Amino acid sequence: MKKINILIIYILLISCNSGKEPDPCACKFNIDLVIPQTNSELIKYKKFFDKDMLKSCIENFTKNEEYDVEELYNYYHKRCPKYDLNIN
Share of the chain above pLDDT 90, in %: 17
Band of the pLDDT at 43, cuts 50, 70, 90? Answer: confident
Band of the pLDDT at 15, cuts 50, 70, 90? Answer: low
Whether this prediction's pTM lies above 0.75 is answered by: no
Question: Which residues make Cβ contacts (< 8 Å) with residue 34, sequence separation at least 6?
Answer: 49, 54
Q: How many helices (H) and strands (E) does the chain have?
A: 4, 0
Band of the pLDDT at 1, cuts 50, 70, 90? Answer: low
Work out the average pLDDT over 23-29. Answer: 90
Domain boundaries, the chain: 2-79
Most distant CA pair in the chain, distance: 41
Work out the average pLDDT over 1-18. Answer: 56
Work out the average pLDDT over 5-28. Answer: 67
